[in-house]
Amino acid sequence: MLAEIERAADRIGPAVLRTPLVRAGDLWLKAESLQRVGSFKIRGATNAVMALRPRGVVTHSSGNHGQALAYAAREAGIECVVVVPEGTPSVKMEAIKAWGAELAVVPRGDRHSAAAEVAAGRDLTLIPPYDHPLVVAGQGTIGLEILRDLPDVEVVLVPVSGGGLASGIAAAVKSLASGVKVLGVEPELAADTAESLAVGHLVRWDDERRFRTIADGLRAEPSELTFGLLRDHLDGMLTVTEDEIRAAMRHLARRARLVAEPSGAVATAAYLSGRAPRGRTVAVVSGGNVDPALFSEVLA
C-alpha cells in the first residue's frame, strides 16, 4: 500500500494543497479544511480521476466526496454525476452544483443503488467515496505529509466514517514509523467501526441509528477493503459525544482560527476530552464545509 500512496503523492502533488500543520497549544492540526473544496476528499478523488482517465464519473456521497469529484472532473473536462442522500446539508449540495456536477437527491437507503444505475445506464465510471484503492491511496498522502512536517510525532488522531481517510493515513504512517500511534475517532452515535474492530468483523448499523449524529460526514460504514486496512494498521478507536464535537468546533474557531464542520472536529474533540494518549499529537481537521446556521448556533 505504501508504494501506491507514494505514487499518489507524485501524481496529485501539483493539483492539491499541501496543507499546513497549525499549532494550537500542545496540539498540531492538519488543516485539510483549507483544501480548495474544503476537505481532504480532493486527494482521493483527484488521484482516481488522474490515474483512471475516465470519460465521465459518478459517485454517491454525503457531500464532501461529491464536491471533490465534481472539482476533479471539472479540471479533467469530463462529466460528473453526484448522488446524495436526503438530508445532505444545503451548503454541500450547492457546492457540488457550483463545481459543475449534476446532482441527484435520493432516499438515504438508495444512494448506492442509484449511483450504480447511473454508472451502468450512462457508461460512467463509479468512483466511490472510500471503497477504492486509488481513493484510499490519495487520502494516505496526508500521512506522508504529517511525517515529513513533524518527524517526531507520537500520536495521530483521524476521523473515521467509511474508513478511506483513516486506513490510508494509518497505512502510510505505520509503514514508515511503526512506533507512532494512529487512532481513529468516531461519534458515539455512529460508532460502528469501533464496535466492528472490537469484535473482529464488520458490524452493520442501520441508517436511522448512524444518522443521529451531528457529524453528517461520518455516517458511512467501512467496506471490506477499508475495514481490513483499519484492522491491520490502526492502533485503536476513540469515541466522542455530540457536546464534545460542538466544543471542539468552538475551540478550533477561537484558538486556531479554523472553520471545521462537525465531522472535521472529532479528532480534536478526542484530544480535548483527555481520552487520547498524551504525546506530540496531530489531529486531522478533515473538513470545513459546515452549514452557516449550524456554525452560528455552535459558536453562540
Active site residues: 41, 62
Q: In whole angstroms, give the CA distance from residue 102 to residue 82.
A: 6
No. of helices (H) and no. of strands (E), the chain? 13, 10
Residue 272 contacts residue 243 (beta carbons within 8 Å): no
Q: What size, in residues, is the chain?
A: 300
DSSP string, 61-123: -SSHHHHHHHHHHHHHT-EEEEEEETT--HHHHHHHHHTT-EEEEE-GGGHHHHHHHHHHHHT
Q: In whole angstroms, give the CA distance from residue 66 to residue 97.
A: 9
Measured in whole angstroms, the distance separating CA 61 from the mean position of its chain's CA atoms is 11
Phi, psi of 218 (to 5 degrees): -115, 30
